Amino acid sequence: MARTTHTSLSVVLAGAMLMLTAALALSGAALGLVATAGIVVALAGLVQVGRGR
């Protein structure tokens, strides 16, 4: 069950990332790239925390 919940959460995060990236890309490509990089780093951190537990 935990794995299913984690997968669903990942899908939601991916959707949010795409929407955020698209919105920021419209206002500025540079801002979109910075936001995407930050979100990727944050997701990588969440994965590391998940593996730690």
Query: What local confidence, expressed as pLDDT, does residue 40 receive?
Result: 92
Q: Cα–Cα distance between 24 and 34 in angstroms, integer? A: 9
Average pLDDT over residues 14-19: 88
Domain ranges of the chain: 2-52
Q: Say how far apart CA 18 and CA 33 lie, in whole Å.
A: 12
Asked if residue 53 has pLDDT above 70, the reply is no
pLDDT over 70 at 28, yes or no: yes
Q: What is the DSSP letter of 25?
A: H
Strands (E) located in the chain: none
Q: Summarize the confidence of residues 28-50 as an average pLDDT.
A: 84
Cα separations in angstroms, 18 against 8, 23, 32, 38, 53 = 15, 9, 10, 13, 27
